[in-house]
């Protein structure tokens, strides 16, 4: 009887998670989160007197707010990845729900982090979107929305037009079709040389019959890739050489942060797509490297990576299009803030992530490495 009663008592970590979730939801529905972000925007505005700069500063500020979650994701990413894989492998929704309930009752740290991270990101980004849907540019802002230490802005709001410099080709020259042929021949020679070297290495390592069996399928797959890559490179260099840039100039891309901007919507959607593809492709390449180290046949690795790439391309395209259609209804202050976050996230692996990972253990746990290898084996060998 005591054992059953104790099993129903939630551990401290789950109780803390419930309390924090209630607090976050209360702040969200009571408008405290809205008041917080509105105060931050106008605090930055009181420093700069430029609304578009204040919006960018809000994006930078939001990045710093999310740093603790980023630190946890990086330092504990293996446990997070394992928990995610374990849940997905259960297949049906009911089994996954039961699994999550059991883990929450046990006080699973990873699930607790997932819940809090999701709640914080959802409430903060929805609030930022709601904030920029408010027409405080033309209508007087309610003074009660701002904290007492934030100066109430003078109307009209100053400098609403953002100014983003970008390089543009001002002059091009046609280097002639003859140079196009030379470049194409150079690419062809380099590719054939690489293929010959790979063939020699393959022959040297070809000591087992199993490798010989994979040779023909590897060659067919490599041939398909070679044709696709060659076409892309030939088209790219044809366009480049027939329109070779010789002059550059800086122009200013501008727009009113109080109104939707289709051009900036497109830029944001493309940036979202490229950001997702950047991180997705790096993950696919890492998995491919592990698969090759495990001795998985080359054609299997290539097919699986191609499938993963197609899935990532599809999901990134859908999210990018969704971002375009949603932001098309919102003043571009929201996009400017999110675009700032995306730029920071692209450079994060070279800056913030490096500083965080210096504090991480330098050696991987054997059990963790084995789990990662099992996950890769399961994913790559399932295509056979």
* CA dihedral of residues 271, 273, 279, 280 (deg, nearest 10): -170
Q: Do 213 and 156 share a structural domain?
A: no
Rounded to an integer, what distance in angstroms lies between the CA atom of residue 69 and that of residue 134?
A: 29
Q: Looking at residue 352, what is its pLDDT?
A: 66
Residue 338 lies in a domain: no
Domains identified in the chain, total number: 3
* Last-in-domain residue among 151, 168, 185: 168
Q: Do 313 and 376 share a structural domain?
A: yes
Q: Do 154 and 12 share a structural domain?
A: yes
Residue 191 lies in a domain: yes
* Last-in-domain residue among 242, 277, 298: 242
Q: Do 119 and 35 share a structural domain?
A: yes
Q: Do 90 and 150 share a structural domain?
A: yes
Q: Do 137 and 30 share a structural domain?
A: yes
Q: Do 211 and 92 share a structural domain?
A: no
Residue 255 lies in a domain: no
Q: Do 76 and 144 share a structural domain?
A: yes
Residue 213 lies in a domain: yes
Q: Do 269 and 164 share a structural domain?
A: no
Q: Do 198 and 91 share a structural domain?
A: no
Residue 367 belongs to what domain range? 261-329+351-384
Residue 253 lies in a domain: no
Q: Looking at residue 198, what is its pLDDT?
A: 67
* CA dihedral of residues 355, 357, 362, 367 (deg, nearest 10): 180
* Last-in-domain residue among 117, 142, 168: 168
Q: Do 201 and 148 share a structural domain?
A: no
Residue 374 lies in a domain: yes
Residue 99 lies in a domain: yes
Residue 59 lies in a domain: yes
Q: Do 158 and 213 share a structural domain?
A: no
pLDDT tens by residue, the chain, 384 residues: 444 444 567 788 888 888 999 999 999 999 999 999 999 999 999 999 999 999 999 988 988 888 888 777 776 666 666 676 677 666 677 777 777 788 778 877 778 888 888 899 899 988 988 888 888 888 888 888 999 999 998 888 888 888 888 888 888 888 888 888 888 888 888 877 877 786 777 676 665 444 444 444 445 445 555 676 677 788 888 888 888 888 888 888 888 888 888 888 888 888 888 888 888 888 888 888 888 877 777 777 778 878 888 888 888 889 888 888 887 888 888 888 877 877 777 777 666 666 766 665 555 556 566 666 777 777 676 655
CA angle in degrees (0–180, nearest 5) for 112-372-13 = 15
pTM over 0.95: no
């Amino acid at each position: 009887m005591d054992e059953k009663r104790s099993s129903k008592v939630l551990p401290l970590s789950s109780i803390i998670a419930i309390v924090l979730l209630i607090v976050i939801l209360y702040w969200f529905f009571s408008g405290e989160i809205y008041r917080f972000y509105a105060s931050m925007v106008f605090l930055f505005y009181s420093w700069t007197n430029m609304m578009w700069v204040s919006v960018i500063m809000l994006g930078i500020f939001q990045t710093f707010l999310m740093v603790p979650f980023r630190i946890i994701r990086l330092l504990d990413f293996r446990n997070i990845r394992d928990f995610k894989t374990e849940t997905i492998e259960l297949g049906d929704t009911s089994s996954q729900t039961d699994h999550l309930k059991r883990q929450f009752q046990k006080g699973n740290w990873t699930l607790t982090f997932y819940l809090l991270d999701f709640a914080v990101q959802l409430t903060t980004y929805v609030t930022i979107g709601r904030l920029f849907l408010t027409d405080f540019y033309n209508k007087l802002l309610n003074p009660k929305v701002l904290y007492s230490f934030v100066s109430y802005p003078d109307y009209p709001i100053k400098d609403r037009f953002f100014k983003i410099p970008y390089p543009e080709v001002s002059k091009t020259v046609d280097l002639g079709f003859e140079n196009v042929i030379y470049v194409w021949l150079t690419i062809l020679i380099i590719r054939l040389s690489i293929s010959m070297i790979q063939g020699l290495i393959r022959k040297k390592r070809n000591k087992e019959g199993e490798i010989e069996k994979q040779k023909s399928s590897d060659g067919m797959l490599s041939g398909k890739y070679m044709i696709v890559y060659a076409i892309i490179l030939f088209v790219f260099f044809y366009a480049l050489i027939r329109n070779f840039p010789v002059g550059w100039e800086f122009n200013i891309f501008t727009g009113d942060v109080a109104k939707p901007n289709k051009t900036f919507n497109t830029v944001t959607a493309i940036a979202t797509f490229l950001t997702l593809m950047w991180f997705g492709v790096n993950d696919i390449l890492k998995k491919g490297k592990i698969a090759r180290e495990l001795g998985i046949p080359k054609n299997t690795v290539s097919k699986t990576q191609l499938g993963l790439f197609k899935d990532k391309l599809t999901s990134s395209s859908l999210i990018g299009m969704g971002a375009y259609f949603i932001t098309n209804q919102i003043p571009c202050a929201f996009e400017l803030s999110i675009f700032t976050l995306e730029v920071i996230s692209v450079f994060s692996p070279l800056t913030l992530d490096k500083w965080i990972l210096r504090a991480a253990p330098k050696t991987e746990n054997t059990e963790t490495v084995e789990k990662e290898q099992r996950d890769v084996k399961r994913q790559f060998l399932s295509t056979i």
